[in-house]
Amino acid sequence: MSTQTNLAPKNTSVPSNSAWLRLSAAIPIVIAVLALAFGWHIAVGAKSLPLSTVVDALMHYDNTLFDHMIVRDLRLPRAIIAVLVGAALGVSGALMQGVTRNPLADPSILGLMTGASFAVVMAIGIFGLVSPLLLPWVAAIGALITALIVWLIAQWVPGGATPLTLTLAGAAITAFLGALISIAHLMDQESFEQLRVWLVGSLAGGRLDVLKVTAPIIIASLMLALALSRKVTVLAMGDDVARGLGVQTGWLKVQVLICVVMLTASTVALAGPLGFVGLVIPHAVRLFVGSDYRWIVPYSALVGASYLLGVDIIARIALRPQEIATGILTAMVGAPLFIHLVRKKAN
């Protein structure tokens, strides 16, 4: 047993009773912060609204009041999309980092997000797909195929699919698919013009029909992630340790892959490719909760939702009345962290 223990990363530990109490007690605080960010997100915009008006519109809706219509018809759906997308990306990044034991893992960095975007762009721009029922599944197919291609490329490299080869393969596929999207746009600018803002990553103009389809998928995938979180903690110690503890590592990785693909595909269908959210959130969460994925997963969902609400608030008010695409700000925050992690890993 001692040899198995030595295989585990140094930061892998079982929380003590005091740590469990601390983390449990902090959950209501994080939820309160999320609720505050949710209300603030609805209140700000081209026209700022008092928080009391927001609460009144949510609790006692009056369709004769213009401010109530702004809240319920425009800003509430966008806030819900921000919560779902932020939670989904935070959890998907946490799962990928835990299973691959790669601190650089993220749906955007490993190519899943670009693969999903490429599939959606081709389906809409070339085949004229507009059905919201099919959009998440098209994105899922694109993300899954891309994940398999990235893994195969990494496997062909001498040394196999290491964290470094997976990252490099993901970067290469992301660049290649991005170039194909640009070529398709140049060849038919009129058809692809409607996707221009979406491809940058934006919560503006989120479609309610797509939200109705993707919300159940995201919620079900988050519940699956919670169910898998204990086994992911064991797997993060190493495949040998996990197998020694009775975990079917191959089947677990398949389940995590399905979960990550569905979360990524749903977020792309809703808001386009929002990069680096899945990279930033798990690292921020680990500073507080440690390495137990039974806590990392729920905290990544809550913190990810609050984070994206906050980023979207800045995107809406920084150059008011103009808006900055949310994906630009997530990249501006995430890229420096990515560089820092690469330098840290190299050392």
CATH number for the domain harbouring residue 284: 1.10.3470.10
pLDDT in tens, 215-243: 999 999 999 999 999 999 998 888 888 88
Q: Across the chain, what does the average pLDDT equal? A: 86
Look up the pTM and report it: 0.89
pLDDT higher than 60, residue 1: no
In a domain, 136, yes or no: yes
pLDDT higher than 70, residue 9: no
In a domain, 10, yes or no: no
CB-based contacts of 65: which residues, under 8 Å, 6+ apart?
Answer: 57
**Predicted pLDDT of residue 117:** 93
Residue pair 277/93 in contact by the 8 Å Cβ criterion = yes
How far from each other are the two terminal CA atoms of the chain, in whole angstroms?
Answer: 30
**Residue 335 or 191, more confident:** 335
Structurally, the chain folds into a number of domains equal to: 1
Question: Which position has the token pair 């507080």?
Answer: 288
pLDDT in tens, 140-177: 999 999 999 999 998 888 777 787 888 889 999 999 99
In a domain, 89, yes or no: yes
CA distance 115 to 118: 5
In a domain, 335, yes or no: yes
Question: Which position has the token pair 């949510």?
Answer: 58
Q: For residue 87, count CB atoms less than 10 angstroms from its CB and return exposed for 0-12, middle for 13-18, buried for 19 or more.
A: buried
**Predicted pLDDT of residue 2:** 36
**Predicted pLDDT of residue 346:** 57
Helix 112-125 and helix 249-271: axis angle, to 10°?
Answer: 50
In a domain, 248, yes or no: yes
Q: Return the exposure string of 202-239: e unless at least 16 CB atoms fall within 10 Å of the residue's CB, then b.
A: bbbebeeebbebbeebbeebbebbeebbebbbbbbbbe
In a domain, 5, yes or no: no
pLDDT tier for residue 16 given thresholds of 50, 70 and 90 = low
Which runs of consecutive H residues, i.e. helices, occur in 195-292?
196-200, 208-235, 239-244, 249-271, 277-289
High-pLDDT (> 70) share of the chain, %? 93
**Predicted pLDDT of residue 191:** 66
Residue 306: which domain range?
A: 15-346
**Predicted pLDDT of residue 3:** 36
In a domain, 81, yes or no: yes
CB-based contacts of 247: which residues, under 8 Å, 6+ apart?
Answer: 231, 234, 235
**Predicted pLDDT of residue 195:** 77
In a domain, 2, yes or no: no
CA distance 211 to 266: 9
Residue pair 253/236 in contact by the 8 Å Cβ criterion = no
**Predicted pLDDT of residue 100:** 87
